Chains A and B, each alone.
With several copies, the nearest count.
Chain A
Amino acid sequence: MSERFIYFDHAATTPVRPEVLEAMLPYFDKKYGNASSIYSIARESRAAVDEAREMVANAIGAKSDEIYFTSGGTEADNWAIKGIARGSADKGKHIITTSIEHHAVLHTCQYLEKEGFDVTYLPVDEKGLISPAQVEEAIREDTILISVMFANNEIGTIQPIEEIGEIAKRHGIVFHTDAVQAVGNIHIDVKKLGVDLLSMSAHKFYGPKGVGALYIRKGTKLASYIHGGAQERGKRASTENVPGIVGMGRAIEIATQNMDSYNKKLLELREMTIDKVLATIPYTRLNGDRDKRLPGNVNFSFEFIEGESLLLLLDMAGIGASSGSACTSGSLDPSHVLLAIGLPHGIAHGSLRLTFGKDNTREDVEYLLEVLPGIVERLRRMSPLYERVKNREE
């Protein structure tokens, strides 16, 4: 086992920043009041929640009463999609989404299909992009919702959200975007985008796990999803997770301040990795669009080998990475995203996602570039698929 540990899996989750943890700490044991109560420490909790709401709103160009805190990105996705579906049953039962959404959107849509909704899963091109024209063509009389993710969690592809937003608005259809991978990582302004609902999750930008938010554009009618007390202006019940919410606010504030310099660095690491890996390891492809992609994301497929073995050997070398979405590790199927961009199963199994973050350095990437070719080669030498290719070559 290696001495050092280099984390290249920031799309799965990020560590809480020291400044964020510091902001959260008083709300665990000192300012522990229930934000809905009336006495002094409770009013401090209320004020802290309001301030965090303001910070989240500012970061995406929203008003603070358009922000509703949730338990994470998944709940925000469930709420947005099921809330519109249940509230628009009289208008229609058709939903448009894509085949590369996160499971939080995909499984929610599949659940609604069982309830009698009709869902169009738009195919993507070989880079993982959908076109606004595709969306427009899919619109029907009874379409009630368009849900297209902002940036893909596996291959990092960034979709033309603004153009899709225009189409949605023109047709008067509610538009949701799962922006969990985008918020806190790239600039977002909901005023420009024309989205009505937007999901976010704090642990993707150095905030805590277990807290997220849904942006609900003023005027968008959305049924509640978690019923109970009057928290979040009656729209999302449960005692406010004050430390979590405070952490999300502080994290998004810092992320927004640092975004340009942060992304400059990530871009450098990304380009360096792509160039070197493609140059040194044969039978390798880059998945996703080369340019329309998150600054910190690279995703390769190494033919003839399987991802889990690759991850374990990288872990032994002190590198934490991912093969497809972390959430899918419970499954045996290769990533639905890689299949959707047209990869054959065998190649989809051999994918590696590296997602860079604030503490990664050029040295980290150099170390990766040092060990990765050997690890790939080692697994290939064990692989009967590689043997065939080699035999053919000879």
Chain B
Amino acid sequence: MYSEKVMDHFMHPRNVGEIENADGIGEVGNAKCGDIMKVYLTIEDDIIVDVKFKTFGCAAAIATSSMATELVKGKHIDEALTITNKAVAQALDGLPPIKMHCSALAEQAIKAAIEDYLQKSND
């Protein structure tokens, strides 16, 4: 069902956790759908220097969370904002069609966290 990469990121998810006093926090999804992802960012000079996540969801949701955080780590926020759910799924060697919405969750959570950061910086 799942690619080896998905199983690897599910079994050994990267960047799990919280960041105290994060510069940006994004949370998307809800328990009703069975998927919630929360992302914490530490940002210096618009560069994402640290990222952590927590996810309630299926293996695909956890693996895409892990992969998405890997992809944005060290990137400028402008670049991070261009990362699509397709790119996340591709980086995992694909997802079953029925699970593609999980990768959207990761994209959205990261966007939400960056927006939260931008809003805070504007305050």
Contact = CB atoms under 8 A, between A and B. Distances in A.
A382 B16 contact: yes
A48 B66 CA distance: 31
A344 B31 contact: yes
Interface string A281-309: 00000000000000000000000111111
A272 interface: no
A225 B13 CA distance: 43
B98 A309 contact: no
A346 interface: yes
A36 to B, nearest CB: 11
Given A384-B55, A385-B36, A385-B56, A38 B10 contact: no
Contact of B31 (A38, A381, A385): A385
Contacts of A381: 16
Nearest to B39: A384
B65 to A, nearest CB: 9
A326 interface: no
A383 B36 CA distance: 8
Contact of A383 (B32, B33, B54, B101): B54
Contacts of B58: 306-309
Interface of B: 1, 7, 10-11, 13, 16, 18, 27, 31-38, 54-59, 61-62, 98, 101
Contacts of A171: none
A387 interface: yes
B62 A349 contact: no
Nearest to B16: A382
B54 A306 contact: no
Contacts, number: 66
Nearest to B55: A382
The 8 A-B pairs with the shortest beta carbon distances in the complex, nearest first, are: A346-B31, A384-B38, A308-B58, A384-B54, A345-B32, A349-B34, A383-B56, A312-B59
A306 B98 contact: no
A387 B101 CA distance: 24
Contacts of B31: 344-346, 349, 385
Q: Is the interface of A mostly helix, strand, loop or mixed?
A: helix
A194 interface: no
Contacts of B34: 306, 332, 334, 345-346, 349
Contacts of A38: 1
Contacts of B55: 382-384
A38 B16 CA distance: 25
A309 B10 contact: yes
Interface in A44-62: 46
A349 B16 CA distance: 21
Contacts of A306: 34-35, 56-58, 61
A384 B36 contact: yes
A330 B57 CA distance: 16
A219 to B, nearest CB: 18
Contacts of B62: 309, 382
A330 B10 contact: no
Nearest to A383: B56
29 contacts: A38-B1, A306-B57, A306-B58, A306-B61, A307-B58, A312-B7, A312-B59, A313-B11, A330-B98, A332-B34, A345-B31, A345-B33, A346-B31, A346-B34, A346-B56, A381-B16, A382-B16, A382-B54, A382-B56, A383-B54, A383-B55, A384-B27, A384-B38, A384-B54, A384-B56, A385-B36, A385-B56, A387-B38, A387-B54
Interface string A334-359: 10000000001110010000000000
A341 B27 CA distance: 29
Contacts of B59: 308-309, 312
A230 B51 CA distance: 39
A382 B31 CA distance: 14
Contact of B18 (A46, A308, A330, A387): A387
A305 B56 CA distance: 6
Interface string A91-135: 000000000000000000000000000000000000000000000
Contacts of B18: 387
A386 B54 CA distance: 10
Contacts of B33: 332, 345
A384 B98 contact: no
Contacts of A330: 98
